[in-house]
Structure 1
Amino acid sequence: MTRGFQKFSDFDILTSLFIIAIVISYSSGNEDNTKCPTVRAARNFDVSEFLGIWYVVQYYASSEEALDYRCMRAELSVSSDNAEITMNFTYSFVDDPINEQLIGNITWTIPSPDMPAHWVHAEAPYEGVYNTYVLDSDYKSWALLMHCAEKSKSPRYLSSLVMSREASLADNVISYLREKLPRYDVDLEYMFPMEQNNCTTLETEADVLVPPLEPDKENNERRRHPLKGKHKRS
């Protein structure tokens, strides 16, 4: 018996190769890990509604394979001319037996009044591009932030914060927000819940900035800043 075969035209072969190339490109993700992904910030964003205290209930950083932080809480404020946004925050390291509350801050400018949910890192010591985006928020309960630092000849640094006005957030809301991140190359395997138990109680908004102990400056300088560190996975 003669085995039959189908003859393919050059057009069929080229079409098949093109489709395979698209599939391979899609499955491999963004090959250039030095550049930040293209991000769409929240539309019709109201900065004034977004200000105040937030609890970080989930945290991701492209450099971290385990969560080093706990009790991270942030307070956002805006300058009098509405040109700069500052986040002051407290946090502890998970391996600190006394749960020392450390203080950090970061300031952004709003480069375009037409896109108030897109902020650019404003502090001079950082060399490069550091974009922050509010991806989504209902202002009263939950919010999703994404940061991307980009520096010449260095791997980009991605981080993301799922934030809540309360110390916890419903599982369905967390799932809804997490689903928005993979399109921006965020690996959900390394996005971890942030413990908010046995933390300093917030009696007033000012309390978020007051540590219970005098900071150990020498030790703190050797440890990572949760929103500015750039570390490669081994």
Structure 2
Amino acid sequence: MNKYFFIFPVILIIIVKDVFSQIRRNRPEDKTKCPRVRAIRNFDLQQLLGKWYVIEYYASSEEALSYRCMRAEFTMSSFENVNMDFTYSFVDDPINELLMGNISWIIPNPEEPAHWVHSEDTYEGVYNTYILDSDYISWGLLLHCAEKSKVPRYLSSFIMSRDPTLGKNVISYLREKLPRYDIDLSYMFDMQQTECNSTSIDLPPSLFINRPAVATRRHPMKHIHQEEP
């Protein structure tokens, strides 16, 4: 029997698979849905707990960095509940007021402790958080995605460090993991972690008068979905 009788079907199968793969890659992505995420395997949540500095920050709704001095502390209130207390300042705040926020999640599947779902009613839609990678002692990578029916999803991401700085090679390693989740690295901004104490004394009164009210500004972990016209 001619040996090419067996070779041609194999080649044909390879070509067909490649065509279908190309079709899937070129198919428009559903921007209302969170990307399919593979969270870190063999994840030890207990080791992630504690204090972190946010070294780089991304949010799909922002084309400039609004925040500085962002820091987070993770705790667990029960076997299924994860809490994060965080502090931050606005870049354009002349008095550099240190603000505080909180967000809490539940772990929907105990076998996947690196995937959390937001548990508070003040956040619209489904708010997923994934731990993409961490060595626990030095660095961590988080992806947040909020989705609500018929409106664009909201993506954000943190590169975190146990110290105020992180090596460039580690940052590059973590950044390379993000484009597959539709994150544009050109909008992944450095988070300043110096001069983070409030400086509200000895400033002209006009600075306080013209300062935007904090209550009118969104904190870094909250996104209000805007309905499309």
Equivalence map 1:59-208=2 (5 Å)? 59-79=57-77, 81-200=78-197
Residues 64, 231 of structure 1: 8 Å contact kept: no
1:152 offset after TM fit, Å? 1.1
2:43 and 2:117 map into 1 onto residues whose CA distance is 16
Residues 68, 88 of structure 2: 8 Å contact kept: yes
Residues 59, 193 of structure 1: 8 Å contact kept: yes
1:126 offset after TM fit, Å? 2.4
- TM-score w.r.t. the length of structure 2 is 0.81
1:98 offset after TM fit, Å? 1.3
Structure 1 gaps of 5+ residues are 1-11, 201-210
Q: Percent identity?
A: 63
SS state at 1:36 partner: coil
Pick aligned residue for 2:46 from 24, 45, 48: 48
2:81 and 2:118 map into 1 onto residues whose CA distance is 10
SS state at 1:189 partner: helix
Structure 2 gaps of 5+ residues are 1-11, 201-211
Match of 1:206 in 2: none
1:125 offset after TM fit, Å? 2.4
Pick aligned residue for 1:228 from 219, 222, 227: 222
User: What value does the CA root-mean-square deviation take over the aligned residues?
Assistant: 2.3
Residues 96, 199 of structure 2: 8 Å contact kept: no
Letter matched to residue 220 of structure 2: P
Count of matched residue positions in the alignment of Structure 1 and Structure 2? 202
Letter matched to residue 181 of structure 2: Y
Match of 2:4 in 1: none
| Deviations 1:114-169, CA, capped at 9 Å, x for gaps | 00000000002223211000000000000000000001111100000000000000
1:37 and 1:123 map into 2 onto residues whose CA distance is 22
1:22 offset after TM fit, Å? 5.7
Match of 1:6 in 2: none
Residues 65, 189 of structure 2: 8 Å contact kept: yes
Match of 1:5 in 2: none
Residues 145, 161 of structure 1: 8 Å contact kept: yes
Seen in structure 2, the aligned counterparts of structure 1 residues 150 and 231 have a Cα distance that, compared at 3 Å, is closer
Letter matched to residue 154 of structure 2: Y
1:195 offset after TM fit, Å? 0.5
Seen in structure 2, the aligned counterparts of structure 1 residues 231 and 70 have a Cα distance that, compared at 3 Å, is farther
- TM-score w.r.t. the length of structure 1 is 0.80
